[in-house]
Amino acid sequence: MEPDLQNKIKETVVEILENSNMDETTEFKVRKSASEKLGIDLSRSDRKKFVRQVVESYLADQQSKAEAQQQAEEEEKEEDEEEELKRKRGAKEYDDDGDLIICRLSEKRRVTITDFRGKTLVSMREYYRKDGKELPTSKGISLTAEQWSSFSKSVPAIEKAIRKMESRLN
């Protein structure tokens, strides 16, 4: 079959498919309609086979588009659910594991409140990015509630020592 004829058949078949109810359309109906539109016999085996290929290719493309659309809709729904969850939690920021981020000390370091084996921990830790997620490194410290209480009582003395040291340097 000549390339020009193949192109005419393909364009006509695709146009018919695009304007058809896919629940009611059959390959036979498409081939018959294309035959009438083009004024040529498409029931010959080589032409029949070509029309079948065009129809199958069209259906495969439509299936791929539908799957891509469905995936995009699912991703959008997940993003919307995440946003809704953030709104419900208020202005508080949580990490990927659901731990409360108290503050970010730098781009890679932060303070979080974590529940680990039934104990509440204050963690000051360094993080790294992998596959779009921020993951904790072993660099850092996690304090129990008692340890945090002891440390926080010592903060004024630490601040005083820092000021004294800085005044010596200036």
Instruction: In whole angstroms, give the CA distance from residue 170 to residue 155.
Output: 23
pLDDT of the residue at 33: 93
* Torsion angle, alpha carbons of 36, 42, 48, 50, to 10: -90
Burial class (CB in 10 A: 0-12, 13-18, 19+), 64: exposed
Residue 148 tokens read as 């945090």
Average pLDDT over residues 77-93: 72
pLDDT of the residue at 87: 62
Q: What is the mean pLDDT of the chain?
A: 88
pLDDT of the residue at 90: 61
H or E segment and range at residue 150 = helix 145-169
Where does the pLDDT of residue 80 fall: very low under 50, low under 70, confident under 90, or very high at 90 and above?
confident
pLDDT of the residue at 131: 87
**How do residues 3-42 score in pLDDT, each as one tens digit?**
898 999 999 999 999 998 888 889 999 999 999 999 999 9
Q: In what order do the strands lie in the sheet with 109-116?
A: 93-94, 100-104, 109-116, 119-130, 133-144
Where does the pLDDT of residue 149 fall: very low under 50, low under 70, confident under 90, or very high at 90 and above?
very high
Burial class (CB in 10 A: 0-12, 13-18, 19+), 118: exposed
pLDDT of the residue at 88: 61
Give residue 109's Cα distance to chain centre.
25
Greatest Cα pair distance, the chain, in angstroms, is: 100
